[in-house]
Amino acid sequence: MRLLFILLLCLTPYGFSALPEGYQLKTISLPDGGSASVLGICQKDDETMAVCTWEGEVWEYKNEKWTKFAEGLMDPNGIYWDKKENAYYVAQKPELTRLIDLDNDGIADRYENYTDRFGYTKDYHEYHFGPIVDSLGRKYATLNLSQSGLPTKGKHRDGPGWSYMRYSGDYRGWIYRSDRHGHFHPIATGFRSPAGLGISPKDELFVTDNQGDWMPACGLFFIREGGFYGHPTGLAGHPAFGKDALEKLTPDDLVGIREMPAIWFPRGEISNSPGSPVWDTTQGKFGPFQGQIFIGDQTLSNFFRCDIEWVANQYQGFCVPFMSQTQSGTVKLAFDPKGRLWSAQVGRGWNSRGGKRSAIQYLEWDGNTIPMEIYKVSLNDKGFHITFTHPVTSEAIKASLPKITSWHYHHWSKYGSPRLDLKSLPLKNWVLSEDGKSLTIETELIRNNVYKIEFPNLISNNNKKLVNNIAYYTLNKLKGDSPKVTANCGYDNTPFLKGSSWKIHDKTRILPTVVSPLSWDKTVLPLPKNAIKLDSSKWDNPNWKENEEGAIYRSKGNWKTKEQFGDARFHIEFRFDESENVKTQLYGNSGIFFMEHYEMQVLNAYENPVYADGQCGALYGQQPPLVNAARKPGQWQSYDVIMKAPRFDDKGQLLEPLRLTVYHNGILIHDDASFIGRTYHRVNPPYQKHGKLPLMIQDHAGSPVAFRNIWVVPDIDYDRELESFRLLFSSK
Amino acid sequence: MSIRLILLSYSLLYSGLFADLQKGKELYHQICMTCHGHDLNGGIGPSLIDDYWKHGDQPNEIFHTISEGVYDSNMVSFKNIYSEKDRRSLVEFIIAQQKGLRSVKRYAYANDSLQNKDLSLDGLKDAKVVKEFKHPENHIYFDHNPTLITKIEANLYIPKEDTYTIDFKTNYFHGVNKIYLDGKLIDEFSSQGQVELKRQSQEIPLEAGVHKLTMLHQKHKNGHHRLFGSLISKAGLKFKLFGESMKGAAPKVISADGRAKVFRKKVHGLSPRSVLAVLPNHVILSINTEYAGIEKAWHSAKIDMTKSLAQRGAADTEIIGQVLPATIAQIKQQGHPGHIQYLASHIDGPNLNLELKIDQTPYIFTYTAKGKNGYKIIATTPNKVEALEISLHAPIKINGKIQQGKVLLKGPETQTFTIESGE
């Protein structure tokens, strides 16, 4: 569809320099005799870069020579080399694939279906982008919406109709994580065509999406687990909405649930089809922009630079042009060990301004020349703080006073949005720092507006002209705005959780959707034949006593099994006594500690919105349950769990984390999830080697909680049983 | 002297008076045919009559390729095999088989270079070329950039003397277009606003041989994306000149070699997650990963991605070959839902191993070439399975016996079984 809209564009390059001073653009011949079109690029080792192509191939570039590694893939939009596993990962349309060269002849022999637990119906738009990988080796990828599917009323492009892009199958419009073969964990939705994925050095997820229906412009989104980023179609896969709800949704239902992008990219000026963001982690090898973000644009054939800051519990920031006139249009960027920025470019189909069908180029800094650039724009109480890479004089500023304009966007089903309330804002005051590098400007600040700050003709003290003279700041929140708190308790000063981009025990974290549990009789299971009933004789703490009704109340001291367990299946029943005036973490707090160190929370979650990673069924301080399937206090509830113990090598290094799949009251709340470390309050200490260990149930302050009917099937084959366990309650 | 005559004399000069079309034809069918096909439409080597010339379509470029061969390919040097005269005859023969546009060159001029003159060859006489392109393929396409004027020059190969017209069409034409043949204006049209365009040029009598086609094209912003044009003869010969662009995409046809291959492609009629097994005997199987079946099969087959690539994957990949009957509809465990999981494809030399779980039991299916157009599947599992149910579309040999309809395997048969097609 983009073809049509490109027609409507009048593209005038804004203040983009062709190349910033000190940078050089070099071109690499394309693989396959120049006939390939590249879709992704990654570094393999110090000498090798690898690309994946539209032709479905993977090529390696070493010593200025190309060799083919794999073929036969379907539109692989992204490639990653996993050093540890000695394997490539590529996102081809039907699956995320791991490519392995078993016999070391330089050609892939094994094409593993890493995960395909999402819908694919052969629709052209069902792109699959990624993967990016966090420091734990977990893979993330995005799924483009389709042109066919739900909602059925989606044919009308303009309201009151719904949208153009549809839901053709599971998790279209989502970003997901896959931790291992067969694992699929949906993270967030609201995407339309999320072609660019990036991961910050702190393991935070970012996605760029493309303007269209419900995407008023392109932007860089900071992804937090559970978030909704604007396009409603993906809500068909959300437990709080679903397919039926999608048919009935109205635009009003979206108000208040949508997360804004960290940065909007004004169309035609800076970006029309952004590729993947990369962080400059080159330690200065690529110039003075360490820690900042670079993105290439597919249509405009340019690179631009961004940086973000933490304001009111979310990221927002600015973008500024960097260079233009690449040969084709960038879809992916990657730094190599020399600090050179490689760009995979493709123009075919969506004609890039560069004009070439495809290209591979890299941008290299001379190690010395600092171009005159807007280094940074940040928000302060009354306006903005702007830093330059070279000092300027007050006279120079006077001769080039910044022009400030602002606007905001519609959120609607039409393609893109005009700039609303577009206006010039007065420059109320300005102050230049003594060193001449920082300019503080005062102007009117309006939330949810894009600010364009332009220096018409700024010259530095050493007579360098500011060519990239426009910065765009996305002001979602003002400093001091209070974030939306979701939980009745929690924290805002804890470390970030890898991958989910929330803080530990985050009081603003989106809470799991409340769903109905299965009725009690549907969750009653026959005792498996190898099961051991863990009656009170099997536990080590005599304080925990069975009462007349067969319930054992939480008592003084933790309660451990005498026997130690490795891989196992568990069934545990628990009940919170109805208690008046008890709330938060005190309403029936206990915990199931698998292998003594890894806690799944036991706490009343019925109308008790504690912080998401500390509610009933949460892997404490790490992973909330997929949904909240709690019953009311006073009713018995059940956990059914299969667990795979962590695996360590001889040196004590973790090979595989503790995994588990869990039903709470017959509802799946963890699907092959894993602990990222041990569980404590506010921290996740790393794994330490251990063998079999007891099951432990926690003593914790709080209103009474009782247990009963606990049984274990020891020494199961977790990987073999996983599939059938996933179907445990499906017939009920 | 007309441009056409100049071209013809050029052609005569280069080829020498001794180049002999008939000799070229003989030589082609003696040796070139084995790789480039009887009708020059390709096989082991690329097609010589498609729109893509990897090593150039100029007579001297073709001559060079024949003489020197292509490094790192099956195309050997023929300079010590055929005399120069013979090689020139081959060039002559190959060129004589062409139709449509060759040697396309594209030039861009700034819009203001006309300086208030109308768009014409004359008006551009002194204008400065801002960009020059040589096309690796020979369908014309235009820049998106509405600030540029495009001039296209190409050789038009006419296979047969006849009267020709050019058909033009596009959805939102907005601009100016002029087309010249051998230096003579044969058609022009323009529009001040967006219009739907469908027109036919005047009739043009053309002799067989090489003609020079020139087109000037100025696009206004908000205008059309592509202008489509085809050349049509009175006798009904039709070929596309421009609009149907491959945008520089090379033809991509995959054939079998000694090693099995695995392909995932969007192919009409195949299930979305089908896996294509390309076996060394040129048999291609489409394995349905939802039913563990074979939903389609071909022998003497190739995977042609050319059209699909030209449309960035929006069009289907094609499988060219002789259709074999689809055989296996479904494999499941008896009394189970028939839940299949596709885990991996593993290329083991000439064989392809597919790892599947059938109702949660892991199986390895080994697909092997058999004879000229057959295949053999050996399935194994280390697990114990009570009974397997195989539903067949067509009769096929299972464990040595021709079977049809629904086949039940029990006991040890479920742990290893063989399915064979062909004799």
Strands of the sheet containing A185-189, edge to edge, are A128-133, A139-143, A174-178, A185-189
CB contact under 8 A, A7 and B222: yes
CB atoms within 10 A of CB B128: 8
Q: In the predicted model, is pLDDT for residue A348 greater than 70?
A: no
Separation in Å, CA of A69 to nearest CA in chain B:
13
Beta bridge partners of A198: A206
Sign, CA torsion A563/A565/A569/A571: positive
Least CB–CB distance from A348: residue in B247, B262, B305? B247
What is d(CA A168, CA A723) in angstroms, rounded to the nearest whole number? 24
**pLDDT score for A1:** 33
Report helix, strand or coil for B20: coil
Q: Does the beta-carbon distance from A72 to B276 stay under 8 Å?
A: yes
Give CA–CA dist A77/A331, Å, rounded: 9
**For residue B269, pLDDT beyond 50:** yes
User: For A301-327, what is each residue's pLDDT tens digit?
Assistant: 899 999 999 999 999 999 999 998 888
Res A554 pLDDT > 60: yes
* pLDDT(B62) > 80: yes
A375 pLDDT more than 90: yes
pLDDT(A66) > 70: yes
Angstrom distance (rounded) from CA A221 to CA A208: 6
Angle at CA of residue B290, ends B289 and B294, nearest 5°: 55
The residue with greater pLDDT, A506 or B168, is A506
Query: Distance (Å) from the C-alpha of residue B207 to the closest C-alpha of chain A?
Result: 35
- Determine the 3-state secondary structure of A681 from DSSP: coil
pLDDT of A112 higher than 90: yes
Nearest CB among A32, A54, A723 relative to B312 is that of: A54
Q: How many beta-carbon pairs under 8 angstroms link A with B?
A: 107
**A610 vs A329, residue with greater confidence:** A610
Residue B150: closest CA among B224, B242, B217: B217
d(CA A460, CA A463): 5
pLDDT tens readout for residues A158-205: 444 567 789 999 999 999 999 999 999 999 999 999 999 999 999 999
Helices B3-15, B59-68: crossing angle, 10 deg rounding:
20
Beta bridge partners of A317: A308
Residue A359: its pLDDT value, please?
87
Selecting from B54, B247, B252 the residue whose C-beta is nearest the C-beta of A357 gives: B247
Q: Are B109 and B124 in contact (CB under 8 A)?
A: yes
Test A35 with B221 for CB contact under 8 angstroms: no
Partners of A195 on chain B (C-beta within 8 Å) are none
CA angle A326, A282, A364 (to 5 degrees): 30
Contact B381, B414 (CB under 8 A): yes
pLDDT recorded at residue B74: 76
**pLDDT greater than 80 at residue B2:** no
B314 and A93 in contact by Cβ < 8 A?
Answer: no
Crossing angle between the packed helical segments B59-68 and B84-96, to the nearest 10 degrees: 130
B218-268 per-position pLDDT tens digit: 877 666 656 778 888 898 887 778 765 545 556 789 999 999 999 999 999
Closest CA to B296 of B256, B260, B326: B326
The answer to whether the CB atoms of B249 and A35 lie below 8 A apart is yes
Q: B5: pLDDT confidence band, cut at 50, 70 and 90?
A: very low
Question: How far is Cα A546 from Cα A708, in angstroms, rounded to an integer?
Answer: 8
What's at A392, amino acid-wise? V
Please give, rounded to a whole number of angstroms, the shortest distance from the CA of A713 to a CA of chain B. 20
Average pLDDT rounded to a whole number, residues A250-269: 92
- Give per-residue pLDDT as tens, A458-477: 999 999 999 999 999 999 99
Indicate if the pLDDT at residue B11 is higher than 60: no
Q: Give CA–CA dist A361/A657, Å, rounded.
A: 39
pLDDT, averaged across chain B: 85
pLDDT tens for each residue of A611-639: 999 999 999 999 999 999 999 999 999 99
Query: Please, are residues A360 and A28 in contact by the beta-carbon 8 Å criterion?
Result: yes
pLDDT at A5: 33
Burial label for B60, CB within 10 Å (0-12, 13-18, 19+), is exposed
Q: How far is B233 from chain A (nearest CA, A)?
A: 31
A649-695 pLDDT per residue, tens: 999 999 999 999 999 999 999 999 999 999 999 999 999 999 999 99
What is the model's pLDDT at position B309? Answer: 84
Interface contact B360-A357, CB threshold 8 A? no
pLDDT at A349 over 60: no
How far is Cα A31 from Cα A38, in angstroms, rounded to an integer? Answer: 9
Closest CA to B275 of B178, B340, B359: B340
Q: Which of A71, A89, A72 is nearest to A80 (CA)?
A: A89
Judge whether B216 and B120 are in contact, CB under 8 Å: yes
Looking at residue A673, its pLDDT comes to 97
Residue B46 predicted with pLDDT over 50: yes
Q: Tell me, what DSSP letter sits at residue A259?
A: P
User: How high is the pLDDT of residue A290?
Assistant: 97
Taking an 8 Å cut-off on Cβ atoms, the answer to whether B273 and A54 are in contact is no
- pLDDT(A645) > 70: yes
Average pLDDT of the residues in B276-293? 97
Q: Which residues contact A390 (CB under 8 A, 6 or more apart)?
A: A370, A372, A437, A460, A461, A462, A464
Alpha-carbon distance B251 to nearest alpha carbon in chain A (angstroms) = 9
Q: Taking residues B409-418, report their average pLDDT.
A: 96
Q: Could you give the residue ranges of the DSSP H alpha helices within B288-355? A: 306-310
State ipTM: 0.92
Largest CA distance in chain A: 89
Query: Can you name the residues that pair with A420 across neighbouring β-strands?
Result: A408
CB contact under 8 A, A71 and B263: yes
- The residues, any chain, with a CB within 8 Å of residue A66's CB and separated by 6 or more, are A29, A31, A32, A59, A60
pLDDT of residue A647: 98
Is A7–B273 a contact, with Cβ atoms under 8 angstroms apart?
no
- Name the pTM for this structure: 0.84
Residues of chain A contacting residue B224, judged by C-beta atoms under 8 Å apart: 7
Give phi and psi for B4, each to the nearest 5: -60, -40
- Tell me the pLDDT tens digit for each residue of A205-247: 999 999 999 999 999 999 999 999 999 999 999 999 999 888 8
A366, with CB counted inside 10 A (0-12, 13-18, 19+), is: exposed
